[in-house]
């Protein structure tokens, strides 16, 4: 397992680019809110711990993970952000709905990265069960939201190099 014995929240602060003047968007799914709330907290902490002013963080909620694509697109079109973090949680159930949602969200976020000039970071947990989601949203494996914040900072800095 890729996250076994790994803390998703760990990073070397000395390697993080300067965040002065950068503006970030976060689009958060309300579905599995107990999980996405933890991811959101990790993302906010990761951004602010690295100098991003709270005034430079725009947050929007959407009903579910499928809606992250549209929410991220509209945020890019209207909010002048340097990067967007799309936060969601899809937990395996008894039907194929899990597969369809996960595939669509992954492809949709990939498409936004191809067709826009603003990086969209995939912070969508696709877990087999609730415990796996808990472990990755502030539990024993740390917080994928923190990891997404660091990725967003690095991608925003890369975007602004060119």
Any idea which residues carry the catalytic annotation? Answer: 97
> What are the C-alpha distances in Å from 75 to residues 32, 78, 138?
22, 5, 26
> What is the CB-side half-sphere exposure of residue 6 using CA atoms within 13 A?
9
3-state SS, one letter per residue, for 10-56: CCCHHHCCCCCCCCEEEEEECCCHHHHHHHHHHHHHHHHHCCCCHHH
Residue 59: half-sphere exposure toward Cβ, Cα within 13 Å:
15
Strand 142-143 to strand 137-139: parallel, antiparallel, or no bridges (unpaired)? antiparallel
Token pair, residue 112, equals: 């936004």
């Amino acid at each position: 397992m890729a996250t076994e014995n790994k803390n998703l929240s760990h990073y070397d602060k000395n390697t993080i680019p300067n965040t002065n003047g950068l503006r970030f968007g976060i689009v958060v799914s309300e579905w599995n809110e107990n999980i996405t709330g933890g991811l959101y907290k990790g993302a906010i902490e990761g951004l602010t711990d690295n100098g991003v002013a709270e005034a430079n963080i725009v947050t929007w909620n959407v009903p579910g993970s499928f809606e992250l694509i549209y929410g991220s697109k509209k945020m890019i079109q209207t909010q002048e952000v340097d990067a967007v973090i799309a936060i969601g949680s899809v937990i395996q159930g008894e039907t194929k709905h899990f597969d369809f949602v996960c595939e669509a969200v992954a492809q949709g976020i990939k498409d936004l990265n191809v067709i826009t000039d603003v990086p969209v970071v995939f912070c969508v947990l696709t877990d087999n069960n609730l415990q796996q989601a808990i472990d990755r949203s502030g539990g024993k494996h740390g917080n994928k939201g923190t990891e997404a914040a660091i990725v967003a900072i690095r991608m925003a800095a890369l975007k602004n190099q060119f």
